[in-house]
């Protein structure tokens, strides 16, 4: 069984296919963490040590025993006010103003299936794929009850954690900090791997020593942010792509988050992931509950690649929902970099005509189709079609596009409003602002208060009235500024719940419509949004060379199928760099493929090349979307390579981009991964055959090519000898 409780030792053991997680209720009622890692048998309580630790406090109930201190023991859910001076997962401000919560074990329950969280996205599974453990802890003096939730997906090597906090007392209290998960390690030398960035340069990999003291990162921007992704890896020293132990934490949440890593005075390491305590102070009245967003945990003893595969499979199979969680995604062309705001109905029809000739499936009419929107300073909030600009109704435009054999998609930004809009003039009180203060502008727009039902209901009705006018098969949902003007301690959390409510209603009403998330590109690229929008625009930066780094960092947790990636025009609109169509396409095929350019400006040769690119992507779409992804080298290396391998190891697609060009260059060799070492593989372009072991141990030699940022894409098939 995945979840076992030893009544005698009061030890809970959670088993997945390759991992074990263990904790114990000790004789004082504290829930201590014992072990998480590769599969083991037996009880791990022998690892606990007790000693008189100077300046580490002791619970009063122990009397004169100075060898027991929560400041030195590993815990499942550490709280403020127990004598543990390390970073903590829960801070409760009681009705008397004190900050204290001491949780003791009450009872447990094991049920079939995976728990869900009302109003929040979470990992889902069939009843026969998962089990749930609920452990209830209580602070009798404070009137607090915390239900720790553990979801175990054995075959996926995934354990999820969450908590439900309930006020069982008589008076109002406040949650000042709440983590979704904590891991305590009694020993070990670790590196922490995080993913930092900025707008148009997201998810850059940074690996650092876990030194004594506390390191933290997170977001206070209202979205998970371009600056840090809500994902972290704790890797044993020396861990590589293929060897070593590593732990992952992925927060299923799209708002403010906090990750803390601390090595303490006794060389123990603690890592926490949860809600950011800044700008957060959530009141709970008598009887009310608060749900902490979920953290997805996984462990691999086979290096970073093994950990990535666990998360890729989990997101594809147990996070994304709806029709397009599994269905083939359309190859699309977006009007933004082709026309920006300067378009009309004929522009879109012509773009669709070009798309049809190139084999592209869908055309997207981006920003500028509503209100009086001819630039980015007006009309957000006025979601009525500008028929004068289009020269026809939306329904007529969609019919013309569909008549060419092309699907139609639309861009929206539902959370935003311009002051120059009819909506703002009618409801200036609907924006996030602090009483008596002017709101903070960004991109000359304000943020609608989606924590309020009447606000999001109005926007929902407006947008549905548009979508009902024709066969809209795709929507790109954008968010183009960060949150400011936080007027109370609950609005940051309630706002995200409002976004989720809007997303749930949208996908329920239009179950056959593909929704792509976007937040200035990758500013809300997280598992929470992927629950509702199975692909997210990876970055506003479409430069192929920069995308090597952005998509490399993204790949550690998120599958290719979740990554919006397109071929754009050159010189690139963000960097001015010129790269070949081949390089742009090979890079974009590490995601959901599409184009951001005007085909009418291309030469006949370029158009023919695009036709072949589209055919190539469609040929390998299933391999790219569902195959195992391997990072072969880093973007900072002379060659950046990655590959996809089918589940049966019968098919592989190798992709490489040269990042450096020098005179008299040496030959470049790329070692492949994931193949059957005993099998024979044919490289389809040349017909040459290679043993799998040779390709993985010695490598494949790249052709010499005197082209800057040259790209190579080679397919291999297993053949009979």
Residue 300 lies in a domain: yes
Q: Is residue 208 part of a domain?
A: yes
CATH of the domain at 200: 2.70.98.60
Residue 82 lies in a domain: yes
User: Residue 195 in contact with residue 259, Cβ under 8 Å?
Assistant: no
Please report, for residues 389, 554, 611, the alpha-carbon distance to residue 654 in angstroms, rounded to integers and kept in the order given. 45, 18, 20
Please work out, in degrees rounded to the nearest 5, the angle formed at the alpha carbon of residue 249 by the alpha carbons of 245 and 255. 160
Last residue of a domain, one of 268, 293, 318: 318
Average pLDDT for 77-83: 97
The answer for residues whose C-beta is within 8 angstroms of residue 85's C-beta and 6 or more apart is 56, 71
pLDDT of residue 661: 86
Residue 227 lies in a domain: yes
- 440: buried, middle or exposed (CB in 10 Å: 19+, 13-18, 0-12)? middle
Strand segments (E) across 413-554: 416-417, 446-447, 472-477, 514-517, 535-537
Q: For the chain, how big is the Rg over CA atoms in Å?
A: 27
Q: Residue 261: CA atoms inside 13 Å, Cβ hemisphere, count?
A: 23
The whole-number pLDDT of residue 707 equals 86
pLDDT at 663 > cutoff 90: no
C-alpha distances out from residue 421 to 444, 446, 452, 519, Å = 12, 11, 20, 21
Residue 526 among the catalytic residues: yes
Nearest to 305 by CA among 526, 527, 549, 557: 557
Is residue 55 a part of any domain in this protein? yes
Give the closest residue to 69 by CA, choosing from 86, 52, 47.
52
Enumerate residues 6+ apart whose C-beta is below 8 A from 335: 343, 347, 348, 351, 363, 364, 365, 366
Tell me how long the chain is: 721
Rounded to 5°, angle at Cα 363 from 361 and 367: 155
Residue 662: is its pLDDT beyond 90? Answer: no
Q: Is residue 249 part of a domain?
A: yes
Give 619's pLDDT tier (boundaries 50, 70, 90).
very high
Please report the pLDDT score of residue 541 as a whole number. 98
* pLDDT score at 4: 98
* Per-residue pLDDT at 229 exceeds 90: yes
Does the structure show a pLDDT above 90 at 665? no
307 domain-assigned = yes
Q: List the beta bridge partners of residue 651.
A: 717
Element of type H or E holding 273: strand 269-275
280 contacts: CB under 8 Å, gap ≥ 6: 175, 176, 177, 256, 489, 490, 492, 493
Tell me: pLDDT of 299 over 90. Answer: yes
Quote the number of domains for the chain: 2
Q: Are 615 and 638 in contact (CB under 8 A)?
A: no
Alpha carbon dihedral 464, 468, 474, 478, in 10-degree steps, equals -30
Structure tokens at 59: 């619970």
Residue tagged active-site, from 526, 540, 596, 628: 526
The CA angle 430-435-440, to the nearest 5 degrees, is: 70
Looking at the chain, the whole-number percentage of residues with pLDDT higher than 70 is 100
* Token pair recorded at residue 527: 């598992």
pLDDT digits (tens, 9 = 90+) for 497-548: 999 999 999 999 999 999 999 999 999 999 999 999 999 999 999 999 999 9
The tokens describing 429, both together, are 């009180």
DSSP state of 73: S
Query: What pLDDT score was predicted for residue 1?
Result: 82
Least confident of 278-282, 305-309, 605-609, 659-663: 659-663
The DSSP code for 471 is: T
678/589 Cα distance (integer angstroms): 29
What is the rounded average pLDDT for all residues in the chain?
Answer: 97
- What's the whole-number mean pLDDT along residues 647-652? 98
Instruction: Give residue 432's pLDDT band: very low, low, confident or very high (50, 70, 90).
Output: very high
Query: What per-residue confidence (pLDDT) applies to 210?
Result: 98
Tell me if residue 185 falls in helix, strand or coil: strand
65 pLDDT band, cuts 50/70/90, is very high
- Give the SS3 label for residue 272: strand
Q: What is the pLDDT of residues 435-482, one digit of tens each?
A: 999 999 999 999 999 999 999 999 999 999 999 999 999 999 999 999
Which of 322-359 are b and which e, b meaning 16 or more Cβ less than 10 Å from the residue's Cβ? Answer: bebbeeebbbbbbbbbbbeeebbbebbbbbbbbbbebe
Structural domain of residue 226, as residue ranges? Answer: 3-318
Q: Which helix (H) or strand (E) holds 581?
A: helix 581-588
Answer with the one of 287, 318, 349 that is the final residue of a domain: 318
Per-residue HEC secondary structure of 372-402 comes to CCCCCCCCCCCCCECHHHHCCCHHHHHHHHH
**pLDDT(705) > 90:** no
d(Cα 435, Cα 487) in Å, to the nearest integer?
8
* Owner of token pair 């005698």: 8
In the residue annotation, 494 being an active-site residue is answered as no
Q: What integer pLDDT is reported at residue 716 of this predicted model?
A: 98
SS3 347: helix
Lowest mean pLDDT among 267-276, 417-426, 662-671: 662-671
Contact between 253 and 528 under an 8 Å Cβ cutoff? The reply is yes
Q: Has residue 240 got a pLDDT over 90?
A: yes
Q: What's the token pair of residue 425?
A: 């003039």
- CATH number (domain holding residue 698): 2.60.40.1180
The first and second tokens of residue 514, run together, are 């593909």
pLDDT, average across residues 654-661: 95
CA distances from 201 to 228, 276, 542, 596 (A): 11, 23, 10, 18
pLDDT of 348 strictly over 90:
yes
The H-assigned helical ranges of 487-575 are 491-509, 527-530, 544-554
Whether 57 maps to a domain, the answer reads: yes
Q: What is the pTM of this model?
A: 0.98
Angle at 286 between CA 284 and CA 287, to 5 degrees: 95
From 318, 338, 353, give the residue that closes a domain: 318
Q: CA-CA distance, 12 to 5, in Å (whole number)?
A: 5
Average pLDDT over residues 108-128: 98
Catalytic residue among 346, 422, 606, 608: 606
Q: List Cβ neighbours of 461 (8 Å cut-off, separation of 6 or more).
A: none
Angstrom distance (rounded) from CA 85 to CA 102: 14
């Amino acid at each position: 069984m995945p979840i076992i409780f030893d009544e005698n030792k009061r030890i809970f053991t959670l088993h997945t296919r390759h991992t074990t997680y263990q904790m114990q209720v000790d004789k004082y009622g504290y829930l201590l963490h014992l072990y998480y890692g590769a599969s083991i048998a037996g009880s791990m309580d022998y690892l606990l040590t007790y000693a008189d630790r100077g300046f580490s406090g002791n619970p009063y109930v122990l009397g004169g025993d100075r060898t027991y201190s929560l400041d030195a023991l590993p815990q499942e859910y550490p709280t403020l006010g127990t004598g543990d001076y390390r970073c903590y997962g829960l801070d409760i401000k009681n009705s008397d103003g004190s900050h204290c919560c001491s949780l003791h074990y009450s009872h447990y329950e094991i049920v079939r299936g995976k728990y869900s969280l009302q109003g929040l996205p979470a990992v889902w599974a069939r009843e026969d794929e998962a089990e749930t453990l609920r452990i209830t802890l209580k602070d009798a003096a404070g009137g607090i009850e915390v239900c720790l939730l553990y979801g175990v997906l054995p075959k996926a090597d995934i354990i999820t954690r969450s908590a439900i906090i309930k006020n069982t007392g008589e008076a109002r209290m406040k949650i000042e900090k709440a983590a979704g998960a904590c891991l305590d390690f009694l020993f070990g030398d670790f590196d922490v791997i995080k993913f930092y960035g900025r707008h148009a340069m997201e998810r850059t990999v940074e690996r650092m020593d876990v030194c004594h003291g506390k390191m933290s990162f997170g977001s206070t921007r209202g979205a998970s942010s371009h600056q840090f992704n809500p994902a972290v890896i704790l890797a044993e020293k020396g861990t590589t792509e293929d060897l070593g132990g590593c732990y992952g934490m992925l927060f299923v949440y799209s708002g403010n988050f906090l990750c803390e890593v601390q090595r303490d005075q006794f060389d123990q390491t603690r890592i926490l992931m949860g809600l950011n305590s800044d700008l957060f102070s959530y009141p709970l009245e008598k009887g009310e509950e608060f749900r902490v967003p979920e953290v997805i945990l996984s462990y691999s003893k086979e290096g970073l690649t093994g950990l990535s595969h666990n998360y890729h499979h989990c997101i594809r199979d147990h996070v994304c929902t709806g029709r397009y969680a599994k269905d083939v995604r359309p190859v699309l062309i977006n009007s933004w970099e082709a026309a920006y705001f300067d378009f009309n109905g004929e522009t879109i029809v012509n773009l669709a005509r070009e798309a049809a000739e190139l084999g592209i499936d869908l055309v997207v009419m981006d920003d500028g189709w509503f209100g009086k929107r001819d630039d980015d300073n007006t009309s957000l909030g006025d979601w009525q079609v500008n028929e004068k600009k289009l020269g026809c109704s939306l329904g007529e435009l969609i019919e013309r596009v569909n008549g060419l054999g092309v699907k139609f998609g639309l861009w929206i930004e539902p959370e935003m409003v311009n002051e120059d809009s009819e909506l703002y003039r009618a409801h200036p009180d609907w924006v996030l602002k602090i009483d008596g203060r002017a709101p903070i502008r960004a991109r000359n727009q304000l943020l609608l208060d989606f924590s309020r039902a009447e606000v999001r209901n109005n926007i929902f009705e407006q947008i549905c009235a548009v979508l009902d006018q024709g066969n809209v098969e795709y929507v790109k949902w954008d968010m183009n500024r960060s949150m400011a003007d936080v007027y109370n301690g609950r609005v940051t959390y309630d706002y995200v719940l409002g976004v989720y409510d809007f997303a749930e209603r949208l996908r329920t009403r239009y179950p056959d419509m593909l929704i792509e998330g976007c937040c200035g590109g990758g500013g809300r690229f997280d598992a929470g949004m992927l629950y509702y929008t199975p692909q997210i625009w990876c970055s506003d930066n479409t430069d192929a060379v920069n995308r090597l780094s952005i998509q490399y960092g993204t790949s550690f947790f998120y599958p290719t199928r979740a990554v919006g990636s397109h071929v754009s025009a050159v010189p690139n609109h963000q960097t001015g760099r010129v790269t070949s169509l081949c390089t742009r396409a090979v890079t974009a095929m590490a995601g959901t493929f599409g184009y951001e350019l005007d085909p009418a400006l291309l030469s006949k040769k370029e158009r023919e090349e695009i036709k072949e690119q589209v055919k190539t992507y469609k040929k390998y779409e299933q391999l790219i979307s569902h195959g195992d992804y391997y990072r072969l080298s880093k973007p900072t290396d002379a060659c950046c390579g990655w590959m996809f391998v089918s589940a049966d190891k019968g098919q592989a697609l190798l992709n490489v981009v040269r990042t450096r060009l020098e005179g008299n260059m040496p030959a470049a060799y790329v070692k492949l991964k994931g193949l059957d070492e005993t099998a024979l593989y044919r490289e389809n372009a040349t017909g040459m055959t290679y043993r799998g072991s040779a390709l993985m141990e010695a490598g494949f030699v790249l052709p010499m090519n005197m082209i800057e940022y040259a790209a190579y894409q080679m397919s291999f098939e297993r053949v009979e000898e």
